[in-house]
Amino acid sequence: MTTLDATPQADSAPVPPKPSAGSHPVKPANRTARVALFAGLGAALVLVSLGSAAVGQYGIGFADVADSVLHRLSGPLGLGHPVGDSFAESALWEIRMPRVVMSLLVGAVLATAGALMQGVFGNPLAEPGVVGVSSGSALGAAFVIVAGIDVLGQFTVPVAAFVTGLVAVLLVYLLSRAGGRTEVVTLVLTGIAINAVAGAGLAFCMFFGSQTARDQIVFWQLGSLNGSRWAYVGSVAPFAVVGLLGACLLARRLDLLALGDRAARHLGVDVERLRVTAIVLIAVMVAAAVAFSGVIGFVGLVVPHLVRMAVGPGHRVLIPASMLGGAVLLAAADVVARTAVAYADLPIGMLTALVGGPFFFWLLRTTRARAGGWT
């Protein structure tokens, strides 16, 4: 009996196995770009941090700062050495390092929150202020300044800003929720309304406040890291760490959400829970950061956009890279704020808006010319 071979000889070559559903092969070029990006951001983070601690009205050598930091971090190993001048050593660790660490925390938080917002809303123009956290915090800070409330001492304004920022986000979510679900468009429009109401409340505070109170409110709105202390850093750090780690854990589901709500649900994503979780993380970490730094714009808008242009829209790379990029950007901006004008400390929010606005306009023109640079 003769067996019939239905498969032609030319087609008998072995077929390579298909990748499994959970595998995501990365092209060598993409892998190289990602490694280069993280290596560059890591090196920039170290250099900018040490440089920021070294620069100031009382100059400290870069090498001395590096040795002092190494000495503190090495503990019992005893590596490095303190700065020879005891006054310089004290100024480094009591004044400059808290400010440097605060700039890194706030920058990382704002950029990561921006990446989360853009993933949740499916729009590269989204930023943390959309859900009302910044305007709500500004209203709380303004109210206690005008009312002269000082029940918590130096923490009164930050605590009030933190609480009202969270309340504003809660109102946005509750008012936009209907039928057990929240739609993106409704969430954005509700956020615009809450921002408008908070802006009106802020205007009332400015109108009825004294000249001193007005000056404090204006300075707070412009954003500044001046006066940062280890106690402030310790207050922000827990919220920042929780928010940053939570954002990294949401990265895979945000990639699925980019396919659309219906497709994400078919793939097992609880879209409503994902949005709520992301908004809560954004509210907590941004409210904590803004409470101590004031309003700082454009970091959460520009940094994720730049990272997306460099290595693509995948959130498992976008979120940690935005975290590093935001920290580097704000630390560098703080150096400029402290050194651009002699014996003056410029508001850092003013600098980020001054540079970020035109730069983001250039990015918009560039991505528009490339036809689809956001996808």
Band of residue 372 on the pLDDT scale cut at 50, 70, 90: low
Among 2-16, 90-104, 252-266, the range of highest mean pLDDT: 90-104
- Residue 105: enclosing H or E segment and its boundaries? helix 97-121
Q: pLDDT digit string (tens) for 139-162? A: 999 999 999 898 888 899 999 999
User: What pLDDT score does 15 carry?
Assistant: 43
Q: What is the dihedral of CA 107, 111, 114, 115, to 10 degrees?
A: -160
User: Is pLDDT of 132 > 50?
Assistant: yes
Calculate mean pLDDT across residues 230-253.
94
User: What pLDDT score does 29 carry?
Assistant: 55
Angle value at C-alpha 116, between 233 and 187, nearest 5 degrees: 110
Pair 107, 331: CB distance under 8 Å: yes
Q: Which of 72, 164, 106, 44 is nearest to 299 (CA)?
A: 106
Q: pLDDT digit string (tens) for 335-356? A: 999 988 888 888 998 888 888 8
Q: pLDDT digit string (tens) for 26-58? A: 455 578 888 999 999 999 999 999 999 998 777
Band of residue 357 on the pLDDT scale cut at 50, 70, 90: confident
> Strands, E, within the chain: which ranges?
177-178, 181-182
User: What pLDDT score does 185 carry?
Assistant: 84
Q: Which of 62, 131, 65 is nearest to 97 (CA)?
A: 65
**d(C-alpha 367, C-alpha 373), whole Å:** 5
**d(C-alpha 18, C-alpha 99), whole Å:** 52
User: What pLDDT score does 5 carry?
Assistant: 45
Q: pLDDT digit string (tens) for 202-222? A: 999 999 999 999 999 998 888
Calculate mean pLDDT across residues 65-85.
86
**d(C-alpha 219, C-alpha 109), whole Å:** 21
Q: Which residues contact 347 (CB under 8 A, 6 or more apart)?
A: 219, 222, 223, 224, 294, 337
Pair 115, 311: CB distance under 8 Å: no
Task: State the alpha helices, DSSP H only, in 148-210.
Answer: 156-176, 184-208
Pair 92, 53: CB distance under 8 Å: yes
User: What pLDDT score does 359 carry?
Assistant: 79
Q: Which of 332, 287, 324 is nearest to 304 (CA)?
A: 324
Expressed in angstroms, the distance from the first to the final Cα of the chain is: 59
Say how many C-beta atoms besides its own lie within 10 A of residue 184's C-beta: 15
Q: Among 22-36, 101-115, 235-249, 277-291, name the one with the lowest average pLDDT.
A: 22-36
User: Is pLDDT of 22 > 50?
Assistant: no
Band of residue 97 on the pLDDT scale cut at 50, 70, 90: very high
The more confident residue out of 209 and 359 is 209
User: Is pLDDT of 102 > 60?
Assistant: yes
DSSP 2-53: PPP--S-GGG-SPPPPPPPTT-----HHHHHHHHHHHHHHHHHHHHHHHHHH
Q: Which of 233, 226, 215 is nearest to 57 (CA)?
A: 226
User: Is pLDDT of 369 > 80?
Assistant: no
Q: pLDDT digit string (tens) for 162-198? A: 999 999 999 998 888 877 777 788 888 899 999 999 9
User: Is pLDDT of 105 > 80?
Assistant: yes
Mean pLDDT of the chain: 85
Beta bridge partners of 167: none
